Amino acid sequence: MRQTPLLHGGTFGAAPSPQSLPPRSSRFIRILLVVWLVAGLGFVGYKSQPTKSKPVEAATLPVSPPVPPPVLAISTEDVLGRMTTAEAKITAATASLRRAEDQMARVVPSLERNYLWVEKNRLETAMTLTEAARREAEESRWEFDLLLNLLRKEHDSK
């Protein structure tokens, strides 16, 4: 009959299982975490310290109140020319917005067929925003036309 050999040393009671012992790597991780936190706190403390030296330029220059831009005397002919150019740009922007709306409208059916509902919703939102921008541009152009006609009448009456 075999007897289990007795272990030398102090083995009083049951031996601890390997699962109950903390792994050695956790001790290293704790030390690394503490060092990292201390370094982070040191960095935050260093960055939050007020600077002791002030820039010389900022200390010597007096602060002056803002000066309003000078009023320029522009002739009516100059204003007419600039407004005509701006009207052409607004008209071009309105046309390009309309083309973008048309292109987006062509894409929506293919998105529905391919079950791309999220993209379809995004495109419909973009179409709505583009249409609102086009309407605003057309309203601005209409008001611009009124001002331009008033200036032309004023210029012709002189």
104 vs 114: CA distance, rounded Å: 16
Give the closest residue to 148 by CA, choosing from 77, 50, 59: 77
In this structure, are residues 90 and 140 in contact, taking their beta carbons and an 8 Å threshold?
Answer: yes
127 vs 99: CA distance, rounded Å: 11
Angle between helices 117-157 and 76-113 (to 10 degrees): 160
Whether the predicted model's global pTM rises above the 0.75 cut: no
How many Cα atoms occupy the beta-carbon half-sphere of 134 within 13 Å? 16
pLDDT in tens, 38-47: 998 888 887 7
- 106-117: b or e for each residue (b if 16 or more CB lie within 10 Å)? eeeeebeeeeee
In this structure, are residues 148 and 84 in contact, taking their beta carbons and an 8 Å threshold?
Answer: yes
Please, where are the H alpha helices in the chain? 24-48, 56-60, 76-113, 117-157
pLDDT of residue 126: 87
Spell out the per-residue pLDDT of the chain, length 158, in tens. Answer: 566 666 565 555 555 565 655 556 788 888 988 998 899 888 888 777 766 554 445 445 555 667 665 555 567 777 777 888 888 888 888 888 888 888 888 888 888 888 888 888 888 888 888 888 888 888 888 888 888 888 888 778 76
Coil, strand or helix at 145? helix
